[in-house]
Structure 1
């Protein structure tokens, strides 16, 4: 870049003291100016609005000036996607992306290095939070001088919203991501947690969970190249410091990127995802520089190995259409740690002046370097044999529309049909977390009973075949036991409520008759009495058991998961 060009398009970060980040208005104006001056390099457009009605934008950079998505996809062009500002209080990616896109526009050699790869980016995803600008919302972070807020206009954390899509932003993202189908994604963040030497840490899509050839390629080829490239460029990088105990001394474990998070969501589409996390206590200038370096290192690798990544993704999609065994839950393999060379600081514990506990601090004057356990493997903790298709009653339109946003092929029944021996789940029990979680009462534990039942479907109900590339998204959202299923997020909560009730003084006689008429109910009730002697003095508990477990007043829909499996 020439000095004239550099001075002509400085970012707000570069114009200031390197401790300032661009406001939303400055960021949008910057890209609008670039797009106007470099129309053959940058295509810039609004892709939706936030819950507060603020425009959400995206940009496309190509070396040959082709921006039409359908044309690019016909040419099978690789797509690299950089998402920024999901947490606007972690704005390094916002500033780094601005400088990188500027350099694409003003440096012909840098642009040419893209080859036929498409550089796709969202400059600020959480635009509501970016406008909520302050200096104190991240109490443990050093700089910049002011920044945005984690929550959006509905006080939602957008990095927990990719599956449930409560926010308009997530709905926009689902459709945008699906339309472009990126091969590699980098979603930029800043970490909280322990203190240690390196500025950059990295959360990749967990390779075991990503699975198939993609997971092996990520672990054996891509991650070593990224860590090596960061070392060579002066920004040694560690896996994300997810401590297995209180400090890194005892080891760290891979972060389980569930589909609620960006990289876990990307995995449902067989996209390799990265979540770089700069360290909160490092100078902002270092965090921005290391973030840009990380994005460029991953981009350069993607450009060089694009054909192999694309082929592995095609194989993964084809394999998903044929897959029968589906992992639903994962757990860290604590019995097979790797060894990681780590640079940390001595953990010091001293009496707190605020309470009677020992406070933890890290002494940067006592650095250490040693091998620590690194638990980088995950095991299946639960799985399911998937049916050939799922049947979704049309009444559950919120579920159906999310499948549509993610490119799932659906078939609307044109007439009423009866399906014999359909797989139906009965919800035996659920345990929900104590308080609200991102606007929902999340179900942490689900116990199911599987039955073969006859299901009567109506014209307009939806059949979802698993013989399609989007099968993974379908299974991990519709199987109730999966980590981030629609059931766990409460989309089907109404089936957990019994709609009819009883009056004690009337139902007492009915209960006696039910016990005489239903031997299974009587046997269950006798066992219940033995197990719950403390409840026998409570008429609501006694009669409630008989009412809930008897057949006379049974409600077939109660605790019946509405989505059935078809074979």
Structure 2
């Protein structure tokens, strides 16, 4: 048994279970140094190791000590285990407040590493880049941009370190875990905001208003030649198409050119439709707002998701990330005005209708793709055909790619959402999202609509700690509403599209869908037959129309006619004793002009 464990340990650490590699000897190897006080753990280990949390925080301190005039440390929050989440702020001319940095003539780049802490390439690449700035080797970079760098976002998952956390990833020798200490995936939390880590990031974005947000991951799945893949929602599916177009036409060529010159192969952010049959084509994913890049798309915050290829060696991936960041800085420096113009355009426009759900098209586009040759054979362990990648180049000239082009759900954008005062926690989350919220005082001056659940389904298992719910709705008039103390969220604002995704109950990443309003499915008052029946008799006698409806339902619906409980329930529902709030979504919608605010209370709750 011990021999088996030793064998398994060695085979995993040295990656003997993974597909063969293509040879690589990129010019980016020259970026590494092997001596000096700011040589990283990654470099000292020849590209095999990544520092633990304490070593990481120590290196942050050393960077600042080496260049205190341009580097500062900001503590942006704490994990549930009370580990500090730190961010390094780098700018050319000394210490700036966040407001001063926002008004800097240079654009600001936010680099986020370790949201999935097993995918930690960004930390070690960022340290090398900042070290080269601190020591004067890359003094040019801070002449181009200001940099915000979060080396580890998922600090608790980072310390759940093991050689056995990701079976399909080549290094580092030990790596952190995907989720945080509460087993929540931070890159599924951008709408519901259950984690202190993502709340900290949103606070940074609100405070510093970065011009470009880069979120660095490592992907999995099929084998292919690309070592650095990255992307953003494509123009056809983007809610900020002008921003996506600038990233596509101006940023991507600059970044791709930098990577290619240094011996890396940049590629598109795509997945495979069938992991056992690569030739069936690629899946063109469109991120929803639970993900960083989907959230950024709705906010008109230019966001690039980097997904380095897990089967490439750690050294190659980290060096590719360094080059990617160098290219992104160059692109941001060259094209910041075009990007800002696109952001301004998108933030000033909110459509009348908004797509909130898509699915993969049945019709494929065709692209060239740098794949890896593979063979298929029957595997006795799985009992089915399995893929074996052979480590040989296979270039596809017209591989099918299926984008999420098919629209499933479109909603009409209301003029405003009206939130009852009891949901102040939702208001706080909206403000963290950068959504403008105002408090009302006085009587309602407009017609309002309320969504009523007609059918609903709860998920059979929890996802990200919550039982999600999907539902269909009728929209009814909400009458006799006193809006004194309520909150208004107008959709014609910079974060208006995001507000719709958060507050419209039909949106799959809304607060409703994540279970924030599950109490509306509870009935807490019930009837007794001995009380209901005599009351119902008098009710029907006094209301001939209602009596006719009851008789018609009995005559036309035999199931209803033969079900005593259903008949009693119908009578109870039509009585004034029935819970008027049951199955009604408490956030109201206005499709007219926004409500008149007689006394706006601009205060924090």
Q: TM-score, normalised by structure 2?
A: 0.85
Q: 1:556–1:302: structure 2 CA closer, same or farther, 3 Å change rule?
A: same
Deviations 1:415-472 (A, max 9, x none): 34234411221122222322100011112x3312112322523532212223322212
- What is the alpha-carbon distance in structure 2 between the residues aligned to residue 3 and residue 338 of structure 1? 40
Helix, strand or coil: the match of 1:149?
Answer: coil
2:69 match? 40
Q: CA deviation at 1:397?
A: 1.6
2:25 match? none
2:53 match? 24
User: Do the aligned residues in 2 keep the contact of 1:89 with 1:137 (CA within 8 Å)?
Assistant: yes
Deviations 1:28-78 (A, max 9, x none): 110111112211221112111111111111111112225322112233541
Unaligned runs of 5+ in 1: none
Helix, strand or coil: the match of 2:319?
Answer: helix
1:257 match? 287
- Check if 1:398 corresponds to 2:411: no
Helix, strand or coil: the match of 2:59?
Answer: helix
Q: CA deviation at 1:355?
A: 4.5
Alignment of 1:208-357 (within 5 A): 208-246=237-275, 247-320=277-350, 323-335=351-363, 337-357=364-384
Deviates more, 1:386-395 or 1:242-251: 242-251
Q: 1:565–1:348: structure 2 CA closer, same or farther, 3 Å change rule?
A: same
2:521 match? 496
User: Do the aligned residues in 1 keep the contact of 2:258 with 2:323 (CA within 8 Å)?
Assistant: no
User: Do the aligned residues in 2 keep the contact of 1:420 with 1:454 (CA within 8 Å)?
Assistant: no
2:481 match? 456
User: Do the aligned residues in 2 keep the contact of 1:82 with 1:120 (CA within 8 Å)?
Assistant: yes
- Check if 1:98 corresponds to 2:98: no
User: Do the aligned residues in 2 keep the contact of 1:209 with 1:378 (CA within 8 Å)?
Assistant: no
Deviations 1:490-527 (A, max 9, x none): 11111122222234566566666667757568648866
Q: 1:554–1:120: structure 2 CA closer, same or farther, 3 Å change rule?
A: same
User: Do the aligned residues in 2 keep the contact of 1:194 with 1:241 (CA within 8 Å)?
Assistant: no
Deviations 1:129-167 (A, max 9, x none): 111112212222222111111121211111111111111
- What is the alpha-carbon distance in structure 1 between the residues aligned to residue 393 and residue 561 of structure 2? 64
Helix, strand or coil: the match of 1:427?
Answer: strand
- What is the alpha-carbon distance in structure 1 between the residues aligned to residue 539 and residue 377 of structure 2? 66
- Check if 1:474 corresponds to 2:499: yes
- Check if 1:564 corresponds to 2:593: no
Q: CA deviation at 1:204?
A: 1.8
User: Do the aligned residues in 1 keep the contact of 2:359 with 2:407 (CA within 8 Å)?
Assistant: yes
Q: CA deviation at 1:478?
A: 0.9
User: Do the aligned residues in 2 keep the contact of 1:188 with 1:275 (CA within 8 Å)?
Assistant: yes
- Check if 1:160 corresponds to 2:188: yes
Q: 1:470–1:537: structure 2 CA closer, same or farther, 3 Å change rule?
A: same
- What is the alpha-carbon distance in structure 1 between the residues aligned to residue 479 and residue 325 of structure 2? 53
- Check if 1:187 corresponds to 2:215: yes
Q: CA deviation at 1:255?
A: 1.6
- Check if 1:142 corresponds to 2:167: no
Helix, strand or coil: the match of 1:457?
Answer: coil
Q: 1:333–1:524: structure 2 CA closer, same or farther, 3 Å change rule?
A: farther
Q: CA deviation at 1:199?
A: 1.7
User: Do the aligned residues in 1 keep the contact of 2:144 with 2:330 (CA within 8 Å)?
Assistant: no
- What is the alpha-carbon distance in structure 1 between the residues aligned to residue 158 and residue 512 of structure 2? 31
User: Do the aligned residues in 2 keep the contact of 1:525 with 1:546 (CA within 8 Å)?
Assistant: no
Q: What is the number of equivalent residue pairs in this alignment?
A: 559
- What is the alpha-carbon distance in structure 1 between the residues aligned to residue 544 and residue 89 of structure 2? 67
Q: Residue 62 of structure 1: which of 85, 91, 111 is its match? A: 91
User: Do the aligned residues in 1 keep the contact of 2:213 with 2:302 (CA within 8 Å)?
Assistant: yes
- What is the alpha-carbon distance in structure 1 between the residues aligned to residue 412 and residue 86 of structure 2? 41
- Check if 1:418 corresponds to 2:444: yes
- What is the alpha-carbon distance in structure 2 between the residues aligned to residue 416 and residue 348 of structure 1? 71
Deviates more, 1:463-472 or 1:35-44: 463-472
Unaligned runs of 5+ in 2: 1-29, 593-605
User: Do the aligned residues in 1 keep the contact of 2:228 with 2:308 (CA within 8 Å)?
Assistant: yes
User: Do the aligned residues in 1 keep the contact of 2:88 with 2:148 (CA within 8 Å)?
Assistant: yes
Deviations 1:357-378 (A, max 9, x none): 3333333357454321234563
Q: 1:278–1:521: structure 2 CA closer, same or farther, 3 Å change rule?
A: farther
Q: 1:546–1:189: structure 2 CA closer, same or farther, 3 Å change rule?
A: farther
Q: 1:229–1:251: structure 2 CA closer, same or farther, 3 Å change rule?
A: farther
- What is the alpha-carbon distance in structure 2 between the residues aligned to residue 115 and residue 232 of structure 1? 23
Q: TM-score, normalised by structure 1?
A: 0.90
Q: 1:302–1:436: structure 2 CA closer, same or farther, 3 Å change rule?
A: same
2:27 match? none
- What is the alpha-carbon distance in structure 1 between the residues aligned to residue 387 and residue 540 of structure 2? 61
2:224 match? 196
- Check if 1:386 corresponds to 2:417: no
User: Do the aligned residues in 1 keep the contact of 2:300 with 2:347 (CA within 8 Å)?
Assistant: yes
- What is the alpha-carbon distance in structure 1 between the residues aligned to residue 544 and residue 111 of structure 2? 62
Deviates more, 1:133-142 or 1:308-317: 133-142
